[in-house]
Amino acid sequence: MSYQPVSPDEVARATGRTDVDEKASPARVYDYFLGGTNNYAVDRVWAERAEGRYLESGQNIRHMYRSNRGALGRVVEYAIREHGIRQIVDIGSGLPTVGNVHEVADEIAPGQCSVLYVDNETIAHAHSDILLSRTADPDRHRAVFADLLEFDNLWDKIFAEQVLRPGEPILLLVMAVLHFIGDSAGAHAAMAFYRDMLPPGSLLAISHGTFDGATPEFRDLIEQYGQTTTNAFMRTQDEIITFFGDFPLVTPLDYTSHWLNPDPPNVEPWRTHCVVGIGRKP
Ligand SMILES: C[S@@+](CC[C@H](N)C(=O)[O-])C[C@H]1O[C@@H](n2cnc3c(N)ncnc32)[C@H](O)[C@@H]1O
């Protein structure tokens, strides 16, 4: 399928928002680093400054974001091929332009997987909605506006779309999201709810930034997130594992660039500063 990017004009028409002077948003900064076009001047200024500071120390900031995106594609492939998953809920789906979950899933199991994209950022949600109206199957693919922390509401909303079959295993993707939610905001209670609600045989995939072995430049970058709409909260790998609760890990935590990667880049794994793993509900 030839990919047609969703244009900023289309998103502006859908949301009524244009290039305004506000804070940078991590969702749109991520879009910028992946090479997307749905970011505002304020996002690009923040991103270019962060990238410049990183480059001065000989490090490539885009490697971190792209490695997470690469890992997401492999998570979807692994879940479909190795665990027979056919239902996917992607919380904090963002507005990426490459490797969208429903496209990856349809390549591996054509016409078989339901995918629900969930985000609480207006631009990200509008982007998914437009993307789906263009490339997706409305019987299987939907975009839902909801907040991970309002878990009851989120769960009701995704089932109200009537594309998920109750009781059948789900792949729940929570990729590069939890590090935007601090402990005091209720990240753990929310994840406990989702673990409870998932049917047996479901998979929970989490990627998360970590300060384990972090360079001063990475710590500096995370501090700069304080100037965006959302702070970032790194956790240790031991803390990240607690989000899986009593789900045994079917793939141990590993850095995103190397996790299940048959052809890993020639860069030390820790340079992504982000780990990924999958747990399975017994
Ligand atoms: C860095 S992007 C990750 C995109 C995608 N999951 C990936 O890994 O490629 C983080 C996304 O999480 C979303 N997000 C952050 N907090 C959220 C919350 N409380 N509820 C829903 N989405 C959230 C942001 O709006 C953003 O789109």
Least confident stretch, 30-44, 103-117, 267-281 = 30-44
Instruction: Give me the pLDDT at residue 38, please.
Output: 79
Atom of ligand 1 nearest to the CA of 68: 8
Helix (H, G, I), strand (E, B) or coil at 13: helix
Instruction: Give me the pLDDT at residue 255, please.
Output: 98
225: CA distance to ligand 1 center in Å?
14
Instruction: Give me the pLDDT at residue 19, please.
Output: 60
Instruction: Give me the pLDDT at residue 251, please.
Output: 95
| pLDDT band at 1; cut points 50, 70, 90 | very low
Contact by Cβ (8 Å): 174, 198: no
Strand partners, 142: 116
Phi, psi of 52 (to 5 degrees): -60, -45
DSSP 27-45: HHHHHHHTT-S---HHHHH
Tokens of 135: 């490339």
pLDDT in tens, 138-183: 999 999 999 999 999 999 999 999 999 999 999 999 999 999 999 9
pTM here? 0.94
DSSP 276: E
Atom of ligand 1 nearest to the CA of 121: 25
DSSP 60: -
Instruction: Give me the pLDDT at residue 21, please.
Output: 54
Instruction: Give me the pLDDT at residue 134, please.
Output: 82
Measuring from each residue's beta carbon to the nearest atom of ligand 1, which residues come in under 6 Å? 26-27, 30, 68-69, 72, 91-94, 96, 119-121, 124, 147-149, 175-177, 180-181
